Amino acid sequence: MTKFFQLVIAGIEMGSIYSMVALAIVIIYASTGLKNLAQGEMAMFSAFISWQLYTWGLGPWLALVLAVIISFILGMMLQQVVLRPVQDSSLLTVVIVTLGVFLGLSSLAGFIWDYLIKAPPALFPEEALVSFGSVRVGTPAVGVFVVLLALAAGLFAMFQFTKIGLAMRAVAFNKETAMLVGVRVNLVIMVGFGLAASLGAAGGIFAAPKVFLEPFMMLTILIYALASAAFGGLDSPLGAVIAGLIIGVVENLAGGYIGFIGSDLKIVVPLVIIIVTLIFRPQGLLGRKYIPRV
């Protein structure tokens, strides 16, 4: 049983990171209908910013907070400069543009910080926080999970109890009505991108000590995050959080118990989950089902 619990705990740790990036994807999808393929690279860029601030002498947590704030601004700028001009074009055009952002950001990161692997600072001490018999619960696992819960609770409170949250939900559900009650739709979409960039940044910065910091660090995490968003329901933030955790745990258990998967074929797990979701429950766990009224 020790192995089982150890795998579950490690799964929750990675799953929390998937959830953060999945939340970012869901927020942008809900407000614009766009699956932002560049979300992972944006997170990677944020992780580099955090690392840069750290090497300039800031503490790891201060660097994290500053990087998250900078990411918020960069995310808004990216939306205004790159995506807003094409937002009324066909979906294919917009997807190609996000692919362009994807490639551009990874090249830019390589250009600025080169491709050598960097070791970012650990945000949590490595030793176990508590032990149950032979099961060790590591501080990083608990720490990342708690941060995820805090972010999710903060998002929920913002959506439910603030004016900007009300505006964001109105834009996500019905742009025309949102416009007609005086919501500045473009401003709301811009803030949504900033928010998504910040959430992704948190995911990237927590992922960096685990996968090491380099321009391609988020490639697999993006696939897990997309799987989480699809599995949880592309328009459901709560679904993204739950699905991210489930996928983190399931991939770890599959890797640990199913012989031929091991650690090499783990990446197949999210892909299988995407396919099964799309076949049996296309709207995802908690997503809305679209039933057009005739």
Residues that bind another protein (CB under 8 A): 163, 166-167, 169-170, 173-174, 176-185, 288
Closest distance to another protein from the beta carbon of 182 (Å): 4
Percent of the chain as helix, strand, coil, to the nearest 5: 70, 5, 25
Q: Which is nearer to another protein, 131 or 160 (CB)?
A: 160
Cα separation, 13 vs 77, whole angstroms: 31
| CB within 8 Å of 218: residues ≥ 6 apart | 21, 40, 41, 43, 44, 204, 207
Q: Which is nearer to another protein, 183 or 208 (CB)?
A: 183
* Collapsed DSSP state (helix, strand, coil) of residue 177: helix
Closest distance to another protein from the beta carbon of 289 (Å): 12
Closest distance to another protein from the beta carbon of 179 (Å): 5
The answer to whether residues 228 and 22 touch, using CB atoms and an 8 Å cutoff, is yes
The answer to whether residues 221 and 56 touch, using CB atoms and an 8 Å cutoff, is no
Which two structure tokens, joined as six digits, stand for 52? 């840069």
User: What are 137's strand-pairing partners?
Assistant: 130
* Collapsed DSSP state (helix, strand, coil) of residue 66: helix
Q: What are phi and psi of 113, to 5 degrees?
A: -115, 5
Closest distance to another protein from the beta carbon of 66 (Å): 33
Q: Which is nearer to another protein, 117 or 187 (CB)?
A: 187
Q: Which is nearer to another protein, 79 or 236 (CB)?
A: 236
- Cα–chain-centroid distance for residue 248? 13
Closest distance to another protein from the beta carbon of 178 (Å): 8
Which two structure tokens, joined as six digits, stand for 54? 């750290």
The answer to whether residues 113 and 48 touch, using CB atoms and an 8 Å cutoff, is yes
Q: Which is nearer to another protein, 3 or 288 (CB)?
A: 288
Closest distance to another protein from the beta carbon of 290 (Å): 11
Cα separation, 196 vs 71, whole angstroms: 9
Cα separation, 57 vs 69, whole angstroms: 18
Cα separation, 234 vs 56, whole angstroms: 38
Q: Which is nearer to another protein, 161 or 280 (CB)?
A: 161
Closest distance to another protein from the beta carbon of 167 (Å): 7
Q: Which is nearer to another protein, 32 or 252 (CB)?
A: 32
Closest distance to another protein from the beta carbon of 169 (Å): 7
Q: Which is nearer to another protein, 141 or 167 (CB)?
A: 167
| CB within 8 Å of 264: residues ≥ 6 apart | none
